[in-house]
A and B are shown apart, each in its own frame.
Chain A
Amino acid sequence: MTSGAFRERLFGAWVEIRENLGRSILQALGVLLGVASVLGGFSISDSQRRRADQMFVKMGGLDKLNVQSKAAVRDGRPTAMQQANLGLRDADAIGGEALKADAIQGVSRQKNARSRVVSAYGDQDRQISGIGGDFIPANGYGVARGRGFSATEMDTGAPVVILGTEAAQVFFPKGDALGQTLRIGSIPVTVIGVFEERIFRFREGQRNQFWWRNRIIAVPANLVQRRMNGDAYRRVDRITFRIPDMGAMGAFAKQLSDLVKANHRLQEDFRLDDVAARIRRRNSQGDVYDIIFMLSGVLALVGGGIVNVNIQMAGLKERVREVGVKMALGASGREIFKGFMTEALLLTVLGSLAGLVLGVGFSWIITKSLGIPLYMTPASFVWAYGLAAAFGFLFALYPAWKASRLSPMEALRYE
């Protein structure tokens, strides 16, 4: 259109909206609430999900496959083979690593024990974590002071220990823990390092969810195996493979499962736990919430849309004469249709802009009160806006069509 007809329609629509401010606000309200609820819902669930991702990263990353032992049960009883079985062993870790040596970035083993731990200040029954391989980085630990285990210490099962901050505090409340001696059971061990404090609060003001990680008393796995509750089979409690390539993870899990089963005389006495898969499952649960949020937004938009149609139809009654005059002056039905559509769509645009603002405010308040950082994705904005536009368009069609179908003569005579 060379005559700027669109601009004229837009201007006319704006005049109409301004002149009927109360009615227009009512009309925009449905859109506004719909947009706000879609955007708010999405943003809150995005924020929650991102916080959870941050937690997993802090726990040492998502790219891990854990293998743990499990009771092999048939008909509700332990199988005879299980009783004779050997559990998870070092051999499983070594065999597993050999399967895909190029994809695996690290293997860590864990062998736990419970024991009396005694120092000059404390005497407690504690869990002892025998660790091997890349346990420290793979689980998000870092040595704050002192040093980690050397390869030789790992191999020989040297009597050395690294303490979590809580353990260091309990057993050595005064002075430096480094270089001191601790007795685990009957074995004297030397403190060679202290871990960084682990802190994670999912929501602000919550207690530290990683507090128990600060209780760690870490010794070489070989020390536990050989001198605490060891056995000739070098059993371990947990093996963790780290595979950054998520694509390789699935195939590896299958191969590993076959290998370990073969090692274990075909007993399913172990459990694979793919951390990434667990997160995918959790995310798909999040999708359910997204659908619920979207549904509530869509329902608000549908409700608002129906109200809009009603208001528009009532408004049309007042405007029949105006339509008649425009038609007499040469406006075609198409022109009238476009005029009404422009009005409705302008209202939708204004309403959804206000809705986006409200949605941001809404999400900010909710996430603030939950105590998690607000995280909004462009996709949420696009969804919220797109849905509003689609429904605004859909519900504008009928009144606009109705107006365009008026007979010019009857419209002119309408009182």
Chain B
Amino acid sequence: MSTIIQTQALTKVYGANGTAVHALRGIDLTVEKGEFVALVGPSGSGKSTLMAILGCLDLPSTGTYTLDGHPVQGLSGGELARIRNEKVGFVFQSYNLLPKATIARNVELPMLYAGVGRRERRERAMALLEKVGIADKADKLPGTLSGGQKQRVAVARALANEPALLLADEPTGALDSKTGAEVLDLFRELHQQGNTLLLVTHDPSIAALAGRRVEIRDGEVVMGGEEEDSMSSSSPGTHPAEHHLEVGR
């Protein structure tokens, strides 16, 4: 089994010396291929920052991050964009579909940036929409869809380039419990098909669906940083360095 996410002593500091905010204080996290990981933590814990770094939307201040074998730190904006395009699929709480583009075009967009030809783009987009069960809406605009349907489109779009990592940020946050459950079923299905999932949530019942829970508090991993640790969690407040020592056991 190959490693998808591997971070070591990841820190993120915002602002200058005097008023610096330490959003992340040394994160060690390993996620293997095919895992379904729930990232939990209260607001302000740094999980959004971590999510942004894991999704290559942002770079860490210090520490190393390797995504599917590619070291990420020190990359330029353009290189980061390519890694996001090829390796990461995002699903957002607010769907973030482009309102002026049809459903099919929304799904095609990541393939367009990857340089996939027009016909193949269309075929793959239709196959993905089939997979999430809304192929009949391909030529509709996002505005005409319900929340659950929009989130399915977002999932199809996230899968467009067969990413190594699927990152979902509160994917059911804007949905009612029934449609939310349906979307979660979709995620479980994707997990069973071998996709690697990282799901950010604050809802314990959703986190319970995941194979592993990683809890963040005050910019540090308090539980579940390594796969083997997931059940026998280290006590809260453990220094990240200790996690570091456990790597490769």
What is the interface of chain A, defined by CB distance below 8 A to chain B?
1-5, 8, 12, 15-16, 19, 321-322, 324-335, 407-409, 412
> A322-B98, A328-B90 known; A2 and B115 CB under 8 Å?
yes
Residues of the A chain whose Cβ atoms lie less than 8 Å from the Cβ of B110: 329-330
Name the CB-closest residue of B to A327. Answer: B81
Chain A residues touching B, majority SS:
helix
Is B109 interfacial (CB-CB < 8 Å)?
Answer: yes
CB < 8 Å neighbour of B101 from A15, A334, A409: A15
Q: Once bound together, how far apart are the Cα atoms of A335 and B101, in whole Å? A: 17
Is B161 interfacial (CB-CB < 8 Å)?
Answer: yes
Is B116 interfacial (CB-CB < 8 Å)?
Answer: yes
| Per-residue contact bits, chain B 55-88, to A (CB 8 Å; 1 contact, 0 not) | 1011000000000000000000110011011100
Residues of the A chain whose Cβ atoms lie less than 8 Å from the Cβ of B78: 332-334
Residues of the A chain whose Cβ atoms lie less than 8 Å from the Cβ of B84: 327-330, 408
Q: Is the CB of B58 within 8 A of A332?
A: no
The 8 lowest CB-CB distance pairs between A and B, nearest first, are: A330-B85, A332-B81, A409-B57, A330-B113, A332-B78, A325-B96, A409-B52, A408-B57
Q: Is the CB of B81 within 8 A of A16?
A: no
Query: How far apart are A336's CB and chain B's nearest CB, in angstroms?
Result: 9
Q: Is the CB of A333 within 8 A of B81?
A: yes
Q: Is the CB of B113 within 8 A of A331?
A: yes
Is B114 interfacial (CB-CB < 8 Å)?
Answer: yes
Q: Is the CB of B113 within 8 A of A329?
A: yes
Q: Once bound together, how far apart are the Cα atoms of A409 and B14, in whole Å? A: 13
Pairs A–B under 8 Å by Cβ, sample size 29 = A1-B115, A3-B117, A3-B118, A3-B121, A4-B118, A5-B115, A15-B101, A19-B100, A322-B98, A325-B96, A326-B98, A327-B57, A328-B57, A328-B96, A329-B84, A329-B110, A330-B81, A330-B85, A330-B110, A330-B113, A330-B114, A331-B113, A332-B77, A332-B78, A332-B82, A335-B113, A408-B57, A412-B57, A412-B92
Q: Once bound together, how far apart are the Cα atoms of A162 and B118, in whole Å? A: 82
Is B243 interfacial (CB-CB < 8 Å)?
Answer: no
What is the interface of chain B, defined by CB distance below 8 A to chain A?
52, 55, 57-58, 77-78, 81-82, 84-86, 90, 92, 96-98, 100-101, 109-110, 112-118, 121, 157, 161
Most B-side CB within 10 Å, residue of A325, A330, A333, A412: A330
Query: How far apart are A402's CB and chain B's nearest CB, in angstroms?
Result: 14
CB < 8 Å neighbour of A2 from B81, B90, B96, B117: B117
Residues of the B chain whose Cβ atoms lie less than 8 Å from the Cβ of A407: 58
Residues of the A chain whose Cβ atoms lie less than 8 Å from the Cβ of B97: 325
Name the CB-closest residue of A to B77. Answer: A333
Residues of the B chain whose Cβ atoms lie less than 8 Å from the Cβ of A412: 57, 92, 96
Q: Once bound together, how far apart are the Cα atoms of A5 and B98, in whole Å? A: 17
Residues of the A chain whose Cβ atoms lie less than 8 Å from the Cβ of B114: 330
Residues of the A chain whose Cβ atoms lie less than 8 Å from the Cβ of B100: 15-16, 19
Q: Is the CB of A409 within 8 A of B112?
A: no
Q: Once bound together, how far apart are the Cα atoms of A168 and B57, in whole Å? A: 95
CB < 8 Å neighbour of B109 from A16, A19, A324, A326: A326
Name the CB-closest residue of B to A19. Answer: B100
Q: Once bound together, how far apart are the Cα atoms of A15 and B77, in whole Å? A: 27
Q: Once bound together, how far apart are the Cα atoms of A328 and B53, in whole Å? A: 12
Residues of the A chain whose Cβ atoms lie less than 8 Å from the Cβ of B58: 407-409
A15-B101, A328-B55, A332-B113 are known; give 12 further A-B pairs, CB within 8 A.
A16-B100, A325-B96, A325-B98, A326-B109, A328-B84, A329-B85, A330-B110, A331-B85, A335-B113, A408-B57, A412-B57, A412-B96
Query: How far apart are A316's CB and chain B's nearest CB, in angstroms?
Result: 15
Q: Once bound together, how far apart are the Cα atoms of A71 and B121, in whole Å? A: 89
Query: How far apart are B128's CB and chain A's nearest CB, in angstroms?
Result: 14
Name the CB-closest residue of A to B56. Answer: A408
Residues of the B chain whose Cβ atoms lie less than 8 Å from the Cβ of A3: 112, 115-118, 121
Q: Is the CB of B109 within 8 A of A329?
A: yes
CB < 8 Å neighbour of A321 from B55, B57, B96: B96
Residues of the B chain whose Cβ atoms lie less than 8 Å from the Cβ of A335: 81, 113
Q: Once bound together, how far apart are the Cα atoms of A28 and B76, in whole Å? A: 36
Name the CB-closest residue of A to B86. Answer: A330
Residues of the A chain whose Cβ atoms lie less than 8 Å from the Cβ of B118: 3-4
Q: Once bound together, how far apart are the Cα atoms of A328 and B58, in whole Å? A: 10
Name the CB-closest residue of A to B115. Answer: A3
Residues of the A chain whose Cβ atoms lie less than 8 Å from the Cβ of B101: 12, 15
